[in-house]
Each structure stands twice: as structure tokens, then as C-alpha cells.
Structure 1
Amino acid sequence: MTKSVLKRGILTFAVAISVLGTQFTPAMAQVPAQLKKENNCTTNENINLTVNFNAQMIEVKEAVTFIDVKISEIEAIAEKSGVQGLKLNSKSLNINSNRNYNQYQMQGQEISPTAVNLSGKASFILGSDENISEFIAALQTKDFNINYRMNSNTQCR
């Protein structure tokens, strides 16, 4: 990239910012808030948290209760983090007995004939996003694989 192209790119970027700055002022940003009050608007917010689980070579008895134990752990972390309104929406568990015995025997691991692999997920609905950053950080320190989604829409009548 030549210096003149780089300078034009920076100039274009600067012009775009100055144009955007003049188009959207703080006063204009308040207009939708005023319309909301006048038109009886409601805002709906959906907050979802999905946690995925995987485990290899665990006993069948342990696999059946695995997801419930993890859900209890997540609920305890939510309470400790100050998250309000966490509710279990759905859970699923897939237990797979197909595995490669030779792979584990070559690694010197003993294999129980009742050991299985599992995957699953638990989806939660949250009442608010208050303290959510602390909650997510706490889940990450416990090595949970999470997906956090927040959707918000406003409808006016």
C-alpha cells in the first residue's frame, strides 16, 4: 500500500466520522425515547444462556446424572454471582457407547466395559442481565463452554 493510498484511506475515514458526527447528535438520540413515552412502547428482552457439555469414558451411572450435577453447579454459581431469575429452559443428553477400545488401550488406560462418551446441553432463561459479567467470568473459570445471547426489541402502539 502506498503512502498516498494510506493517506486517502485515513482522510476518507476521518470524513466519514465527521459526517456521522454531524448527522447523529445527542439531541437526536433522545427523540426515540420521547416517542416511546408518547406512543406507549414496550421493550421485550430475551436473555438466554446455553451451556454445552462433553465427557469421555465415564461410567453409565455417572453419565445419567452428569447433566443434572452440572446444572446444579451452574445454578449455584448464578446465585453466588448475584444473577436473578435463572430458570432452566431445556436440557438434552446424548450417550454414545461407540468408542475405540484400541485407542485407549494403546495409551495405557484401562477401559471399563460400561464406560461411555456423552454430550449434552442445558439452556437457561435469565430474568435480567444484572451481574451477568461476573456470572460469565465465574462459568469460564470452571471451564464451562457457554453461549450467551440477548435479544431486545421495542414495539410501539
Structure 2
Amino acid sequence: MPKTPMHCPFCDIIGGAGEVSVCYEDAVAIAFMDIQPVNDGHVLVVPRAHYERVDDLPRETGLHLYGVATRLMPIIQQVTGCRDLNIVVSSGSAAGQDVFHFHVHLIPRRAGDGFDVPLPFPGSAMPDRTRLDAMAARIISALRDPMASPTPTPAPAA
């Protein structure tokens, strides 16, 4: 069930109380131009229902938003002339989220545009393989735990 926020600028936009340049909408999602774009063509894909973080988002809604994003990506590339693109989701303040209504950034990129999401992160050291293997084993174990909550839903068959 979506949370009702105290105040959410994206809920204002969805409710018609704010200026917005919409480039896509349907019953579940709306996509509009970012008012502080990294580059021309920077689009936000947003669920109409209010979910603060990625872990609040129902799986079906997340799949739908990703579908909208992949539909918009080649069009954004075409109209901006940018072949390169970042898809960015920030979930939580430590991850850089500043509007607490889940959203996906589609950011067209040009060489030398000054925006950077440096991966690999220059401050990280390469861990020992045993540490990587141990973390992978913990994740596998959690995925297989039938008592874990919430139980991951298997992906639909293709």
C-alpha cells in the first residue's frame, strides 16, 4: 500500500498542482522533464502512486517503470543525438535521493559534460576473492531461505 507523504513535490505534479513538461503518461506512470537537468533530454520516470524508496515499490510497478524507461530511452537518444545514457535510481538519503518519491532518471550523456558516476569507485579497494565469495554465498542463502520475509517472487518465464 502506498504511503501518504506529508508533502511531496512529485505528488503535487501528478495531482496537477505544479508545472511540468510531461513526455509520457499512463495509468501507472508519468514521465517528465527534470527541472535541473544534467543535459537536455533528462527525464524522470515516476509512479503515480507514492512510494518513497525502491524497497517500497511493488514488483509489478517496478517492472512497469522499467518498461516505460526502456521505451523512452531510444526516443531520448534520437531526439537529443546522445547515444550514451545513464539510468540512475537513488534510494535513500545516503544514496543521494533528495525527493522521496521513487523515480528513475534517464540522463542523456555527452563526452565531457562534467557529470560522473565513477564506477569502479576510486576510493574502493579490490577485496580478496574469499570475501567476494562469502558475500555471494550469503546472498544465495538469503534468496533460498523459505522463511525469509519478504519472499522474493521468481521472475516470470520468458
Question: What TM-score bracket applies, with the shorter chain setting the length?
Answer: under 0.3
Higher share of residues assigned helix: 1
Higher share of residues assigned strand: 1
Q: Specify which structure has the bigger relative contact order, considering alpha-carbon pairs within 8 angstroms and separated by 6 or more residues.
A: 1
After TM superposition, the score normalised by the length of structure 1 is 0.28
After TM superposition, the score normalised by the length of structure 2 is 0.28
